[in-house]
Structure 1
Amino acid sequence: METQTWIQISADSDFSYHNIPFGVFSTACNKEDARPATRVGDFIIDLREAERQGLLNGELFSKLSHKVFQGKTLNSFMELTRPHWQEVRRTIQSLLHVGSALDTNKELQSKVVIPYTDKIILHLPAQIGDYTDFYSSYTHAYNVGVMFRGKDNAIQPNWLHIPIGYHGRASTVVVSGTDIHRPRGQAKPPTAEKPIFTECKRLDYELEVAAFVGGPANKMGEPVKVDSAEDRVFGFVLMNDWSARDHQAWEYVPLGPFNGKNFGTTISPWIVTLDALEMFRVDLEPQNPEPLPYLKEKRHTSWDINLEVYLHADGNTKADILTKSNYKYMYWNIAQQLTHHSVGGCILNAGDLLASGTISGPQKHEFGSMLELSWQGTEKIALSEGKERTFIQDNDQIIMKGFAEKNGIRVGFGECAGKVLPALPENKYY
């Protein structure tokens, strides 16, 4: 029997009754008053006010000695355990049922439920302590390897044994809707004798899904075991890891990505929980060679999440779809990434962000970056209205979307969007 809810939710909404994502919002009349919330259809439920009104007092939640939704981020809530997150999600769902307190008490409803309009401002959902980006899609790793090393050496010997990653820059992770300036930096064109200081000529997107770490931190020196690693995953967001390919190509030897990857990273504002995505879990192909024991799971899985990337070219009336991929195109999954991250004893704190790396499928339209779609700039990408691209131009907007759908149930992420502004004048630098 279908659950009867008093709130109207369209069938194609990303924010269905089955979702209940977590985020942070404020309103245009009081931009600084950021507070935790969830979104249902075209409404926001103010979790700070719901907590004040005693609406969230489940068995576990009522035993807490402190409030968790009174701050400007979700970190206090994220520091709890997965059973706490599950209980709050179920409690919110119960408040949507016909006959609930929010249904029958209109005064209470007016305090807690807010229409989602253009007056709503969305913020980063958490204070991000550390940010790590992985490199876990086989097709992406293979494509990039072919471009730079040839088919015979496309996959490095360690890639099939270890989740490769690098430490990114948390200070420039921004919420969807934030403009990104084209970066300047060092590059060495193929025909140049020495490097030059220049604006990025090969600006790219990377389609990723990122996990927010939650739960009590592990102690320094104590790793997280792979079969319990998902209990440390608070939920997922979409991510665009903006990339300055020409700067990256010059600087990455011998220590890997640096300024070519740290000038801006955009995430979607609503964190979708693993519990909301459970029905979309899928088995992945067996890994070959078999992972070392600390990375070998009882069941190797990911989630069937459709991922799309649109480019709204400067001056065009509509956006063009560039990529249609899926989160199931992962070789190393989030449990293995998180476990490997901690294997040496690294502390993982609530609010840390772990990104998947570019997610590319086997077909060309599933490639998760323009580097792949244009094959390192050698092939033009046709757009509508007579335009074409190899990489992102000034005033282009990149829009990412993600959703899972099965048996009439839809769970989505909303948008992860950002517009590219021209580089700052050179006289700003020296």
Structure 2
Amino acid sequence: MSSWVSGAAGSGFEEDHLPYGVFDAGTGRRVGVRIGHDVLDLAAVAEDSEVSVLLAAGTLDPLLAAGPAAWSAVRSLAHESVTNPARRGAVEPHLHPVDSVRMFLPFTVADYVDFYASEWHATAVGAMFRPDADPLPPNWKHLPIGYHGRAGSVVVSGTPIVRPRGQARLPGAAPTFGPTQRLDLEAELAYVVGTGSPLGTPVPTEAFARHVFGVCLLNDWSARDIQAWEYRPLGPMLGKSFATSVGAWITPLAALAAARVDPPPRTHRLLPYLADGAGLPWGLDLSLAVEVNGTVVSRPPFATMYWTGPQLIAHLTSNGAALRRGDLLASGTVSGPAPDEAGSLLELSANGTRPVPCGGSSRTFLLDGDVVTIAATAPSTGGGRLRLGEVTGTVRPARD
């Protein structure tokens, strides 16, 4: 059934999508779902149902922890609420225009891991930084490389991003300390973990959907000059830990059933724990768009990502590490083979040597006042295209 909500049809937020968020319409934080240009106070319409306790806390945390059966029950309730004409009278008073509410980080981030799952991104960056060697590290086709980030620096879309300060060193010069001169964006997709796993128990690829609640867009802001000076031998730290932005809306895995595609062909035999599972694959046909100050500078295709969500989970837990409710697993920068498909200014500007057209000006790296927005669409189960909740942030000057 189509939704009776005005403006839902063709919006990308139709009854076959229904992403979750936490909002405040003036009475405190509430759990809601996006439908068209409105947010439905799902906690209000669920008050007399058996799932009401999962939606009453003003955060998605209880729902995430409840597991797949509860996720399905709540999604069914949301769908029935916005499609059954008989419920319109009871439900319509709980709709609020999205533009009139304040959005919050929808769940408590437990741990944050950022992977490096795009072969095109890894190859391009490797060629810049290791011109006399193989761009890909020898382990890259055998395991999903990642680093552990700071959960406390994850912020919701719309939060201003303060230019970070740190150590950097120009070639042949002494180290200096000050605001980054090479602030970059990274267009990514993140997987949001719902149910955890016991310490010491690996999670196999086939258990992915039993643990992952949904996905959101993510911008892993990067200070490239700070990163370049600090990352050897231990990897990224201060160059990335100052802020990571996530979209306010979490798209449930169930809404992405029509977007599932085969991942790229494997050029190296995978070890059994990472082997692509039988049944529907978990590559995702998402089309991203990166805007700087309202100008689209890149259109990265997520379907080119070499490593899939199930493989990220399987590798992360293969040593016995536990999953926790609210874990955030980012894909790493999404980039494709074409010049305008790179998901970072580092690639688009060829390491700062080629200005990127941006409306009436150009950029190699971000300036104070720049507004970065990452959006995405995907095939929907209803035959149209859904829109993931965008993630946006404005760069503010460094603080003394």
Aligned counterparts of 1:162 and 1:83: Cα–Cα separation in 2: 31
1:418 alignment counterpart: 393
Q: CA deviation at 1:12?
A: 3.5
Task: Pick one of 66, 70, 80 that aligns with 2:56.
Answer: 70
Q: CA deviation at 1:94?
A: 1.5
Q: CA deviation at 1:83?
A: 2.5
2:91 alignment counterpart: 109
Residue identity matched to 2:95: V
Deviations 1:141-170 (A, max 9, x none): 000000011264100001110110110011
Task: Pick one of 348, 354, 368 that aligns with 1:373.
Answer: 348
Aligned counterparts of 2:162 and 2:258: Cα–Cα separation in 1: 39
Deviations 1:252-272 (A, max 9, x none): 011100000011111110000
The count of corresponding residues between Structure 1 and Structure 2 is: 397
Whether 1:24 aligns to 2:22 is yes
Aligned counterparts of 1:177 and 1:228: Cα–Cα separation in 2: 33
Give 3-state SS (helix, strand or coil) of 1:365's partner.
helix
Cα pair 1:223 1:342 within 8 Å, conserved: yes
Q: CA deviation at 1:100?
A: 3.1
Q: CA deviation at 1:415?
A: 1.7
2:247 alignment counterpart: 268
Cα pair 2:144 2:315 within 8 Å, conserved: yes
Give 3-state SS (helix, strand or coil) of 2:171's partner.
coil
Q: CA deviation at 1:290?
A: 1.4
Aligned counterparts of 2:180 and 2:394: Cα–Cα separation in 1: 15
2:75 alignment counterpart: 89
Q: 1:284 to 1:162 in 2, by over 3 A?
A: same
Whether 1:207 aligns to 2:187 is yes
1:168 alignment counterpart: 149
Q: 1:391 to 1:4 in 2, by over 3 A?
A: closer
Task: Pick one of 97, 116, 120 that aligns with 1:135.
Answer: 116
Residue identity matched to 1:211: Y
Q: CA deviation at 1:408?
A: 4.3
Task: Pick one of 164, 172, 176 that aligns with 1:183.
Answer: 164
Q: CA deviation at 1:350?
A: 1.3
Q: CA deviation at 1:110?
A: 4.8
Aligned counterparts of 2:132 and 2:126: Cα–Cα separation in 1: 7
Cα pair 2:230 2:236 within 8 Å, conserved: yes
Give 3-state SS (helix, strand or coil) of 1:262's partner.
coil
Give 3-state SS (helix, strand or coil) of 2:46's partner.
helix
Gaps of at least 5 residues in structure 2 are: none
Deviations 1:373-405 (A, max 9, x none): 0010011112222x1110000100001101113
1:15 alignment counterpart: 13
Q: Which runs of 4+ in 1 moved over 2 A?
A: 9-12, 97-101, 108-117, 297-301, 405-408
Give 3-state SS (helix, strand or coil) of 1:77's partner.
helix
Aligned counterparts of 2:189 and 2:139: Cα–Cα separation in 1: 23
Cα pair 1:49 1:111 within 8 Å, conserved: no
Whether 1:281 aligns to 2:263 is no
Deviations 1:342-374 (A, max 9, x none): 111111011110000001000010000000000
Aligned counterparts of 1:133 and 1:98: Cα–Cα separation in 2: 41
Cα pair 2:263 2:307 within 8 Å, conserved: no
Aligned counterparts of 2:156 and 2:228: Cα–Cα separation in 1: 27
Mean alpha-carbon deviation: is it higher for 221-230 or for 108-117?
108-117
Cα pair 1:14 1:414 within 8 Å, conserved: no
Aligned counterparts of 2:34 and 2:272: Cα–Cα separation in 1: 40
Aligned counterparts of 1:100 and 1:268: Cα–Cα separation in 2: 33
Q: CA deviation at 1:209?
A: 0.2
Give 3-state SS (helix, strand or coil) of 1:309's partner.
strand
TM-score by length of 2: 0.96
1:1-400 equivalence runs, <5 A: 3-27=1-25, 29-30=26-27, 33-54=28-49, 57=50, 61=51, 67-101=53-87, 103=88, 106=89, 108-117=90-99, 119-150=100-131, 152-192=133-173, 194-215=174-195, 217-299=196-278, 300-312=281-293, 319-385=294-360, 387-400=361-374
Q: 1:109 to 1:253 in 2, by over 3 A?
A: same
Aligned counterparts of 1:320 and 1:99: Cα–Cα separation in 2: 40
Gaps of at least 5 residues in structure 1 are: 313-318, 426-430
Cα pair 2:374 2:392 within 8 Å, conserved: yes
Aligned counterparts of 2:2 and 2:275: Cα–Cα separation in 1: 42
Aligned counterparts of 2:211 and 2:371: Cα–Cα separation in 1: 33
Give 3-state SS (helix, strand or coil) of 1:132's partner.
strand
Q: CA deviation at 1:116?
A: 2.5
Cα pair 1:224 1:342 within 8 Å, conserved: yes
- Identity across aligned pairs (percent)? 39
Q: CA deviation at 1:40?
A: 0.3
RMSD value, Cα: 1.5
Q: CA deviation at 1:111?
A: 4.5
Residue identity matched to 1:209: L
1:315 alignment counterpart: none
Aligned counterparts of 1:41 and 1:49: Cα–Cα separation in 2: 18
